[in-house]
Structure 1
């Protein structure tokens, strides 16, 4: 019985000894952990350096202090001018002119503080995450945007070039002045390219976006103009100075016009409003069936002359209207009255090639000619049937066009005159 008691006592002692040893081991582990933690905090986490596996652009700033990191990045990414290229021309944007700066110090501070927020456990978590996955920062630029816009606009002015349409000159034959391609500096797109380059210090060379601008009329468009399709002229009393002036001004504004296939000519659009501020002078016009002075008197003689040239050339007549009184310079059914309201002379180039409209005053006559391609030349005859309408003189105008042995007659317009 006493032996059993002894055994229990010995068991109790063994347990106490075991617990004491376990406690000692735990204590040692805690001490070692504290020492290790202290070493980690002092030498790795809060060591005055940037954590491992951190990059600013492609510069590895791991284990650098702030000054070392700034120096390393400054060495790799120096501020530099932008070089802009278009074909063989080069343009420059100075970093000093736009006050360019990189946010290097800001990024270094962010990198440094990524594991030094002041919250121990949060910093430990950040350290572990960065060591495993890495962390990178992109450099951003700051600059004077107004100055940048000014420099971009200066470059645009140097590059931009208007396109020039081909021209036709009638003199010793029919001469063609070639067209030229224009250039358009794409300001919005180029600014994006420049801003991207400023924020990407790896590249300072930019190929500018410049678009070719085609002229409205190319050399090829008018090369086919090689013959006179039709001409017409009328005469006037040049002693009527103001009226003569208006005839010449209207002719000048209708001269040197190229119509591509399908394009339409409006007399009113070319001459503009017949008002004093538009250059016209007071001269006799028909108002309410009677003559009175008004700006632009005489312009209907120019429109009539041009109408007859278009009529005889075979161009499509879209709009024409007669005067209220019979004109003295053309027969009934051959006049074209215009005003600033709804009366206009309109015709369309219905040919396969371009046509050239020539109109000018020469002394006491006004001349109009239509030039075009010989392939478009047609035979034209005009017939006017005079008749009486409600006791008033009237006329119906017809045109017959003959091409390739086939003829087609169409009604142009019906005219009714007061006298």
Structure 2
């Protein structure tokens, strides 16, 4: 009589025997016969029942080491596998495939390979990143061309000198590297069209060519042979020959920088707390005021302006622009679709600020002020009026409200 325990053992033996037969796992397959087991792939190549040598030949046939070809217009570059030490590490992957069913749990692995999904071994490509980068840098040197901005220079004599702009060319090195990395990873080497980026100049030839007239100008006088006069020359020069593109903002303080000895400024009279004292940069407010009045007549959008404590001797009330580095600034924005050019001329005790621009943007403008006297102050409103061709008012805008102490 066979008890229940023995019946269970016999049943398991019979089941295992049937399984082995159905798997075709004869003695030859299970033993180390030098062949890769069934249903094993290297990438998408089936290497079942192949020897190591046969598998290697099959992999080389399907994944040959190829030269990377890069092209741009008539230029061509070739990067061979040897140039960058490219290796698919085929031997390592074949060894993994061969030994998969020759270690621990080999019976279980064989069972899974027969009834479940295949086992796929990856080819892990390797290469010398530094050598590849060196080659790509040399390619970039052949192709890259720096962008050239158009320039304009208006002489004191009003002579206009311009230079043309040129587009730049730049290899998109990151995009190129990513394309190469992807090909190597997929083991699918093919021709690459060199990715480039055309760099448009910010200042184009047509921009500087559009500057053909004076939109507004203003002059003030000063005593030339003094520290104050010296400061005016320094400030006038630092705020001159500036091209302001459409929408850009001019900042007086940012343009001049700090009014220090190191920047060429001397001590001269300045107003501090309603009193005249010696300070570095005295006189720079006359330059900001002169530019301010030219900007008003040129139709600039005034973003920031401040009046002095007392009425200035070089400009009417409501038409001055006090500045103090780090505290109060004078700013305006170019509202036109063409650039404007700031030109200051200071000599013989006079400073003139001219704002050049496109004749299409020229407006008929005049400035008027309204004054209201109080006990110890004067309130002034500054208006800008736009006229049509018949000199009739079409727009009037309030620009600033100023308050001056009466001495």
Bin for the TM-score computed over the shorter chain: 0.7 to 0.9
Shift of 1:308: 1.3
**Structure 1 range deviating more: 105-114 or 247-256:** 247-256
1:321 match: 306
1:411 match: 398
1:228 match: 214
1:213 aligned to 2:199? yes
Which protein has the larger Cα radius of gyration, Structure 1 or Structure 2?
A: 1
1:271 aligned to 2:256? yes
Identify if the C-alpha distance between structure 1 residues 415 and 153 changes in structure 2 by more than 3 Å, giving closer, same or farther. Answer: farther
In structure 2, what is the Cα distance between the partners aligned to 1:156 and 1:256? 35
- Given that 1:50 and 1:61 are in contact with CA atoms closer than 8 Å, whether structure 2 keeps it comes out as yes
Structure 1's unaligned 5+ residue stretches are 1-29
2:164 match: 178
In structure 2, what is the Cα distance between the partners aligned to 1:371 and 1:219? 16
In structure 1, what is the Cα distance between the partners aligned to 2:184 and 2:347? 63
CA deviation vs aligned residue, 1:341-386 (integer Å, no higher than 9, x gap):
3322122223344322223444644332112222221112223455
What SS is found at the alignment partner of 1:229? strand
In structure 1, what is the Cα distance between the partners aligned to 2:406 and 2:138? 64
Identify if the C-alpha distance between structure 1 residues 92 and 382 changes in structure 2 by more than 3 Å, giving closer, same or farther. Answer: same
Equivalent residue runs for 1:227-306 within 5 Å: 227-240=213-226, 243-277=228-262, 279-286=263-270, 287-306=272-291
Identify if the C-alpha distance between structure 1 residues 282 and 351 changes in structure 2 by more than 3 Å, giving closer, same or farther. Answer: same
2:187 match: 201
Shift of 1:320: 1.7
CA deviation vs aligned residue, 1:22-79 (integer Å, no higher than 9, x gap):
xxxxxxxx9xx99x968x4326874302345655356564543223433554566555
**Structure 1 range deviating more: 99-108 or 393-402:** 393-402
Identify if the C-alpha distance between structure 1 residues 367 and 79 changes in structure 2 by more than 3 Å, giving closer, same or farther. Answer: farther
1:66 match: 52
Shift of 1:90: 4.9
In structure 2, what is the Cα distance between the partners aligned to 1:208 and 1:196? 15
2:178 match: 192
1:11 match: none
Identify if the C-alpha distance between structure 1 residues 309 and 84 changes in structure 2 by more than 3 Å, giving closer, same or farther. Answer: same
CA deviation vs aligned residue, 1:121-170 (integer Å, no higher than 9, x gap):
4354255358xx76654422223445555665666676555544433333
What is the TM-score of this pair, normalised by structure 2? Answer: 0.76
In structure 2, what is the Cα distance between the partners aligned to 1:150 and 1:268? 45
In structure 1, what is the Cα distance between the partners aligned to 2:302 and 2:161? 27
In structure 1, what is the Cα distance between the partners aligned to 2:195 and 2:277? 59
- Given that 1:333 and 1:395 are in contact with CA atoms closer than 8 Å, whether structure 2 keeps it comes out as yes
- Given that 2:289 and 2:319 are in contact with CA atoms closer than 8 Å, whether structure 1 keeps it comes out as yes
- Given that 2:39 and 2:114 are in contact with CA atoms closer than 8 Å, whether structure 1 keeps it comes out as no
In structure 2, what is the Cα distance between the partners aligned to 1:221 and 1:51? 73
- Given that 1:259 and 1:356 are in contact with CA atoms closer than 8 Å, whether structure 2 keeps it comes out as yes
- Given that 1:317 and 1:348 are in contact with CA atoms closer than 8 Å, whether structure 2 keeps it comes out as yes
- Given that 1:53 and 1:134 are in contact with CA atoms closer than 8 Å, whether structure 2 keeps it comes out as yes
Equivalent residue runs for 1:92-171 within 5 Å: 95=81, 98-117=84-103, 119=105, 121-129=107-115, 136-145=120-129, 148=132, 163-171=147-155
**Structure 1 range deviating more: 190-199 or 69-78:** 69-78
1:349 aligned to 2:337? no
1:382 aligned to 2:373? no
Identify if the C-alpha distance between structure 1 residues 217 and 125 changes in structure 2 by more than 3 Å, giving closer, same or farther. Answer: same
1:359 match: 344
Identify if the C-alpha distance between structure 1 residues 64 and 361 changes in structure 2 by more than 3 Å, giving closer, same or farther. Answer: farther
Shift of 1:284: 0.9
Shift of 1:303: 1.0
In structure 1, what is the Cα distance between the partners aligned to 2:282 and 2:82? 64
In structure 2, what is the Cα distance between the partners aligned to 1:255 and 1:150? 45
Match of 1:42 among 6, 12, 28: 28
2:384 match: 399
Identify if the C-alpha distance between structure 1 residues 254 and 304 changes in structure 2 by more than 3 Å, giving closer, same or farther. Answer: same
Identify if the C-alpha distance between structure 1 residues 374 and 42 changes in structure 2 by more than 3 Å, giving closer, same or farther. Answer: same
Structure 2's unaligned 5+ residue stretches are 1-16
